[in-house]
Every structure is written in C-alpha cells, then in structure tokens.
C-alpha cells in the first residue's frame, strides 16, 4: 500500500524558501579570492520562494528573496531542504516586476 500524498499549503504570513547553496569560494569586487572556509555570521543569503501563505502580500512563488540564515526553520520534503519563515523576516525581493526598486539588478 502506498502512502497518500498531501499538498503543502503555507499558512498566514509564512513563506517557504529553497535556499541557494553557496558555490564555495567567492571573489570580491577587487578580485580577491575568499575561500569557502571563511564563515561570515552576518552574511545574508538568497533563496527562491516555493510557497506563500494567504496573508503574504509582497512576494510571490518564483521570486528570489534575501534573508538571514538564522531567522528560519528548516524542513525536509521528499529529500530536499526548505526554509520556513515569516514574511517580515525577509530583507529584499528580486523579481521581474519592479514597483519601487533600487535600480540595482542581479
């Protein structure tokens, strides 16, 4: 007998995010190589929105969002890790439909 499959529906102001893993070492704008072993505690991360609750107003599924890695809960779904957090814990959103942007692009 196979297990029943349930669709995940986010509640209230919760957002489900697929984290974009760091590719290892990075380069600064001046060309300095920063090794993957360097850990920065206040570094924000980008992720893709995979689900939103009914009370979320500023992000949609598919948007890229900027968040702090310590402000979330982690959950595994079908072998893949996702993050769950409140909409107010997001710092920025990058999407194709800018309304009041900064003039900066990814």
Task: Report whether 90 contacts 66 (CB < 8 A).
Answer: yes
Is residue 102 in some structural domain? no
Q: What is the pLDDT of residue 30?
A: 77
DSSP-derived secondary structure letter, 63: -
In what helix (H) or strand (E) does residue 77 lie, and over which residues does it extend?
strand 73-77
CATH of the domain at 86: 2.30.33.40
| Number of domains the chain contains | 1
> Does residue 77 belong to any structural domain of this protein?
yes
Residue 54 is predicted with a pLDDT of 92
Per-state percent for the chain, helix, strand, coil, to nearest 5: 5, 35, 60
Segment of 5-14, 32-41, 91-100 carrying the highest mean pLDDT: 5-14
- Is 99 within the bounds of a domain? no
Domain assignment of residue 65, yes or no: yes
Domain membership flag for residue 61? yes
Dist. CA 84–CA 35, nearest whole Å: 28
**What pLDDT score does 31 carry?**
75
Structural domain that includes position 29: 14-94
Asked if residue 40 belongs to a domain, the reply is yes
Helix (H) / strand (E) containing 18:
strand 14-19
**Residue 6 falls within a domain, yes or no?**
no
pLDDT per position as a tens digit, 21-35:
655 566 667 777 766
Looking at the domain assignment, is residue 58 inside a domain? yes
Per-residue pLDDT tens over the stretch 32-65? 776 655 666 677 888 999 999 999 888 889 999 9
């Amino acid at each position: 007998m196979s297990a029943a499959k349930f669709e995940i529906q986010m509640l209230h102001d919760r957002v489900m995010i697929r984290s974009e893993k760091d590719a290892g070492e990075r380069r600064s704008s001046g060309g300095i190589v920063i090794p993957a072993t360097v850990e920065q505690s206040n570094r924000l991360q980008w992720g893709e929105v995979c689900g939103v609750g009914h009370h979320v107003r500023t992000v949609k599924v598919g948007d890229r969002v900027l968040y702090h890695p310590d402000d979330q809960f982690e959950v595994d779904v079908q072998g893949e890790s996702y993050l769950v957090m409140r909409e107010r814990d997001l710092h920025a959103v990058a999407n194709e439909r800018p309304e009041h942007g900064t003039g900066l692009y990814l």
